[in-house]
């Protein structure tokens, strides 16, 4: 089987991705600052506890893949934070720094740490960045989130250019809101629904398909991007949003 490194794998979308890739037969190195990332360890899974914005942590994680499972085929960067929303006129410097550090800098370190092993992947390395619909459609109060996720998306596109000669494909998934995650507290959800004059249920399903998009559905999109098909696809953005382009 193949070997995947997944960041942010203790919760939400990252956790669903780690589970989906294991179901598809991959061994997984799961990285998170939350020690619960170790709870599901098994012969095909190892948890690495640490801060993804520390290059040393990412180096250790890549090493765990090579030492423990014989190489690295897939990197999925899913760790992320949604800093407390604040308007630019009253920007919170700590939230700004945290957003940039986790959502941008840590992605750069993950790419750098994974590259030497990805180059060796027999079927060509594959990278997926969990980006956000917010990059194309930023919201008020989300300056730190929008700026940091946009910068990461640019990093991924540069990696797609630089690593094409190495046979490494780099793609992005762009979920809109995914509510079965740590980012969406009940308070944030109630506040957003009220902002649009909707009930919570209306707000959650405000897309063309009328579905509440789940972490598992995002994980399915990631699996399709890394499972060995789509061999002519790199630098692409795959939206996972119930088709909400024409809705709020």
Task: Give the one residue of 27, 62, 78, 168 binding ligand NAI; rule: CB under 6 A.
Answer: 78
CB of 2 to ligand NAI, least distance (A): 22
Contact flag: residue 114 with ligand NAI (CB under 6 A): no
CB of 218 to ligand NAI, least distance (A): 7
Task: Give the one residue of 58, 175, 223, 244 binding ligand NAI; rule: CB under 6 A.
Answer: 175
Contact flag: residue 128 with ligand NAI (CB under 6 A): no
Helix (H) or strand (E) holding 44: none
CA 61, CA 67: separation in Å to the nearest integer?
Answer: 10
Its sign, for the CA torsion 195, 198, 199, 205, is negative
Its sign, for the CA torsion 49, 50, 56, 62, is positive
Closer residue to ligand NAI, CB minimum distance, 132 or 150:
132
Catalytic residues: 145
Task: Give the one residue of 4, 12, 163, 223 binding ligand NAI; rule: CB under 6 A.
Answer: 12
Which regions of the chain does DSSP assign to beta strands (E)?
Answer: 3-7, 27-32, 45-49, 74-77, 126-130, 169-175, 237-240
CA 152, CA 119: separation in Å to the nearest integer?
Answer: 21
Binding positions for ligand NAI, rule: CB under 6 A = 8, 10-14, 32-34, 51-53, 78-81, 102, 130, 132, 175, 177-178, 181-184
């Amino acid at each position: 089987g193949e070997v995947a490194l997944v960041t942010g794998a203790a919760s939400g979308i990252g956790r669903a991705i780690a589970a989906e890739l294991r179901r598809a037969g991959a061994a997984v190195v799961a990285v998170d600052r939350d020690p619960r990332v170790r709870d599901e360890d098994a012969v095909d899974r190892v948890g690495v506890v640490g801060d993804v914005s520390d290059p040393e942590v990412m180096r250790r994680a890549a090493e765990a893949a090579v030492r423990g499972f014989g190489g690295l085929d897939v990197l999925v960067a899913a760790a992320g934070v949604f800093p407390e929303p604040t308007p630019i006129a009253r920007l919170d410097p700590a939230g700004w720094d945290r957003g940039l550090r986790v959502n941008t800098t840590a992605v750069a370190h993950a790419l750098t740490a994974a590259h030497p092993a990805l180059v060796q992947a027999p079927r060509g390395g594959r990278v997926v960045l969990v980006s956000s619909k917010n990059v194309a459609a930023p919201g008020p109060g989300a300056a730190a989130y929008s700026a940091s996720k946009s910068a990461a998306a640019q990093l991924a596109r540069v990696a797609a250019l630089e690593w094409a000669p190495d046979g490494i494909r780099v793609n992005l998934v762009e979920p809109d809101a995914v509510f079965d995650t740590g980012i969406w507290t009940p308070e944030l959800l109630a506040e957003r629904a009220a902002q649009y004059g909707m009930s919570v249920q209306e707000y959650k399903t405000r897309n063309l398909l009328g579905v509440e998009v789940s972490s598992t559905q995002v994980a399915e999109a990631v699996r399709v991007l890394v499972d060995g098909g789509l061999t002519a696809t790199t630098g692409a953005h795959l939206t996972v949003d119930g088709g909400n382009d024409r809705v709020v």
